[in-house]
Chains A and B, each alone.
Chain A
Amino acid sequence: MGVVEIGLIYTALTLVLLFSGMPIAFALGSSAVIIMYFFMPATNIHLIAETIFGELDNFTLLTIPLFILMGAAIGKTRAAVDLYESAYRWLYRMPGSLGVANVMGCTIFAALCGSSPATCAAIGGMGIPEMRKRGYTGALASGLIAAGGTLGILIPPSITLIIYGVMAEQSIGKLFVAGIVPGFLLAVLFSVWVVIKYIRDRHDWMKTASPEEIAEVSKKEHFTWKEKMESLPRLLPFLLLIGLIMGAMYGGFGTPSEVAGVGAVAALVLVIALYKCYQWNDLRAIFTGTAKESCMVMMIIAMSFLFTYVMSYLRISQSMAEWLVALEMSKWALLFWVNMLLLVLGFFLPPVAIILMITPVILPPILAAGFDPIWFGIILTINMELGLITPPVGLNLFVINGIAPDIKFGEIFRGIVPFILIIAGYIAFLSVFPEVVLFLPDMFYDY
């Protein structure tokens, strides 16, 4: 049987197992073993344990559990609420300020946490009820938290970028630095949309609302300078922690794993000292949550490597990559189709699995077309952000559903569509202006 036939069988088998509802890690592992059994020499089966160990025996993957611990520690405290309340006190005069404060909360939390659903949950837990109380529609409130949460994987630290870095053999530090500007810029775009949408919603609402309701909502809130300043000291430690991590990442004091280890310990010290989070129950939630989540991510990583080993052994990934190169598409057509592929995969799969499965296939043609690997890492990550908020499987959407079960799915979807369009447009923008991504890493890394 030829590469094409085996490739099709492998793809079909994998899809069936994935959609069976099996854990993704074991679905990928099982389909790899089944294909191994039928199409590869039996000796390969005996390599399974060594392959898994060989892949996990990696200095860079070490960072993942440590960044998860850091995010879990901070996520357990009131820190997230403090973040957005402080932002709100400074912004309150502006229309849509509460929404913008929530986006800012997501942005800052994203800089302390490597995953998107965690960012979503941390800010949305307080943010969504608060916004709805003050007249935001369920659609806008949930859409903006779902989208704001995706900043978690674009703004460093980011598990997605770490895994891409391992797969593409790119410097994690450089990828992290590259995520900063696009991350903050995307946060600005989200904020602009929130303000526009808030003003329009309010305009419509005024026409139908009763005078009492209008009076209630337009009750003037006021924060004195004292109140504004008071909110800052609580923020300061987190800003210092962000500074520490970002500073350490470029030309700083250590390897990415050391930075992650220091970040995790610093975050723990912070939440224990500042938020008095030292009760056994709190700590237990932080630690078991960390163990569980890093286990889940690391398992997907370990088993995906088995999956790609089989793809590579049977030359499926190489043939697909060669086929893509041989099509001689223009570089923009190639990029378009790669984005489409990522979009479709993103409907169903979480970022970790997509990156591990697809990088060996799409990276060679992307590099052959002359695209920059660091820039592509960022484009890929933004694509993954889309996947987190597109139905039917969008991890951030599930988080929103957990926080605010009374918001109907249709409403969340209506709220999320504009953000999907913004992100799609943003990918196009960064494709035309790659300098936006690259100028900062180029400044700090002269290679």
Chain B
Amino acid sequence: MNNPLWRLFSGTVRGVNQAMAYLSALLILVCSFVLVYEVITRYVLNISNDWVIELSIFMLIAATFLAAAHTQRERGHVGIEILDEVMSKRASRIRLLFGDILSMLFCGLVAYLSAVYCHEAWDQGWTTSSTWGPPLWIPYFFMAFGMLLLTLQFVVQILEGLMGKAPELPKHGHATTSGQGG
């Protein structure tokens, strides 16, 4: 755990993830203002803008994937934890480790497939089929990048687990915003 390389790696992952979470929040905020702008131009100038819907969707897809790793660091992706109560501490640790490894593999696969698609979209110059026609590689880039960060976050958490650091248990009801999918 005190290996400087490890500290550099986990520190970098942590820092980047935190920054991406802020960027994600900023995108959601900007998206709200864009929609307000659309409503205002429609009522004041009686015009609509052909880019609003696509831009908003792209921003929110980016926001979703950019925040994924930070959310995982705080164990904010909700799971069913009732076996925590029933199983021994040791058994539970193995079980959670197994879950983290499978999650890592899954997220790594999605990151890879998104990157492949992103490359193809870039290479072929694919766009959406509207008059505005933004390039399609943009959302796929954010998917690939976000899932890559998430994969690395799982790597950090798996290694921490193996090195004997007690897993950070999910915090329930820690914030007024913890909607947990309800």
A interface, CB within 8 angstroms of B: 17-27, 29-30, 33, 45-46, 48-50, 52-53, 56-59, 61-62, 65-66, 68-69, 71-72, 75-76, 114-118, 120-122, 125, 150, 152-153, 159-160, 253-254, 257-258, 260-262, 264-265, 268, 285-300, 302, 348-353, 384, 388, 392-393, 395-396, 398-403
- Chain B interface size band reads 35 or more
B33 contacts the other chain (CB 8 A): yes
- With A253-B43, A262-B35 given, is the CB distance from A59 to B25 under 8 Å? no
A293 CA to B29 CA in the complex, in Å? 14
User: What 1/0 flags go to B60-74 for Cβ under 8 Å of A?
Assistant: 110111111011101
Known: A75-B177, A291-B24, A401-B172. A48 touches B110 (CB 8 A): yes
Known: A22-B103, A265-B32, A350-B182. A295 touches B24 (CB 8 A): yes
B75 to chain A, nearest CB (A): 8
Are the C-beta atoms of A57 and B117 separated by less than 8 Å?
no
Complex interface: chain B residues within 8 A of A395 (CB)? 78, 180-182
Measured in the bound complex, the distance between the Cα atoms of B30 and A101 in whole Å is 36
- State which of A30, A57, A76, A297 has its C-beta within 8 Å of the C-beta of B179: A297
Task: Say how far A150's CB is from chain B's closest CB, in angstroms.
Answer: 8
Chain A, interface SS category: helix
Cα of A33 to Cα of B177 in the assembled complex, Å: 32
Does B39 contact A258, Cβ atoms closer than 8 Å? yes
Number of A-B residue pairs, CB cutoff 8 Å, is 284
Contacts of A48 in B (CB 8 A): 109-110, 113
- B residues in contact (CB < 8 Å) with A: 21-22, 24-26, 28-29, 31-36, 38-39, 42-43, 53, 56-57, 60-61, 63-68, 70-72, 74, 76-85, 92, 95-96, 98-100, 102-103, 105-107, 109-110, 113-114, 116-117, 139-140, 143, 171-182
A20 to B100, CA, bound (A): 10
A342 to chain B, nearest CB (A): 15
A-B CB contact pairs (8 Å), 20 listed: A19-B82, A20-B102, A30-B105, A30-B106, A75-B176, A76-B176, A159-B179, A258-B35, A258-B39, A261-B34, A261-B39, A262-B35, A289-B175, A291-B24, A293-B180, A298-B60, A299-B64, A302-B64, A352-B182, A388-B182
